[in-house]
Amino acid sequence: MRELIAFPCAGDALVGTLDRAPSTRGLLIVSGGNELRIGAHRGMALMAQRLAAAGHPVFRFDRRGIGDSTGVNRGFEESGPDIAAAVAAFRTAVPALTRIVAFGNCDAASALALQDISGIDALVLANPWVIEPTADALPPASAIRARYAERLRDPRAWARLLTGGVNLRKLAGGLSKISGGEAAAPEGLAARVAAGLADKRATILIAKRDNTAIAFAEAWQTPAYAALRDRIEPEILDTDSHSFHRSDDKAWLQARLLAALNG
């Protein structure tokens, strides 16, 4: 059974959707970016439906200033009160809950890593966002390098270059960015995400050919994540879909969410 639930957060009113199910282990979905709780391609609504059919209650919500919720959108780094309010609303609506797993993709994953939220027992973090803002509109250098390496193995890419099918200005910009590298700021977002995960139980999911995931995979190999590498092994899917929207991607994601709920 699916129902809407309104609940307070710092003087504003948030709106969430609860898919009821009998299990005492539930999933809280935190939306990434400025995305509505329905998710890209209706992905989160459909995932909630499938998980509820498998027996687990699922709660998803719009943070302040997004969708049906009132207030000002403060961005993912200031979403701690919203997530905490959603946890409280979930537990009030389903008082039998003994375990809450929180799932977030992209900057929602980073928000869950950065915030210390009481009442969350485990995290499932997909493609955490660790990319610092830049003046250009190009992807991070790590993603550009990965994309060029892939294209160099593709004869069709060489044919497009030789026949004028490649934007040479864009190519030059990409080459310039990777030749200059990217200095990892010790106090940057990637380091803060690593510090936030230090005492959290987390499963990390990676879409291998997604730009956001490629940037995180590079950060994962830095000293900031050394302690985490000793106890967490990211699970990797060979896809370029950031939102896991293909049928095989959805099945893979669902299996890992169920494993976290039942773990």
**122 and 10 both lie in a single domain:** yes
**61 and 79 both lie in a single domain:** yes
- Residue % of the chain over a pLDDT of 90: 78
Structural domain boundaries enclosing 231:
2-132+186-262
The total number of structural domains that make up the chain: 2
Instruction: Tell the burial category of 187 from Cβ atoms under 10 Å away from its Cβ (0-12, 13-18, 19+).
Output: exposed
pLDDT in the model for residue 226: 97
**31 and 152 both lie in a single domain:** no
Phi, psi of 225 (to 5 degrees): -105, 10
Half-sphere exposure of 199 (CA within 13 A, CB side): 4
Q: Which residues contact 184 (CB under 8 A, 6 or more apart)?
A: 190, 191, 219, 222
Q: pLDDT, tens digit, for every residue of 174-220?
A: 545 455 554 444 459 999 999 999 999 999 999 999 999 999 999 99
**105 and 22 both lie in a single domain:** yes
**71 and 198 both lie in a single domain:** yes
**26 and 54 both lie in a single domain:** yes
Contact 65, 73 (CB under 8 A): yes
- pTM score: 0.82
**121 and 198 both lie in a single domain:** yes
Q: Which of 180, 206, 236 is the last residue of a domain?
A: 180
**199 and 122 both lie in a single domain:** yes
The CATH number covering residue 245 comes to 3.40.50.1820
**169 and 252 both lie in a single domain:** no
**146 and 161 both lie in a single domain:** yes
Q: If pLDDT is split at 50, 70 and 90, which confidence band does 123 have?
A: very high
**127 and 147 both lie in a single domain:** no
Q: Which residues contact 74 (CB under 8 A, 6 or more apart)?
A: 64, 65
* Residue 72, CA distances (Å) to 65, 106, 242 in order: 4, 21, 26
**172 and 109 both lie in a single domain:** no
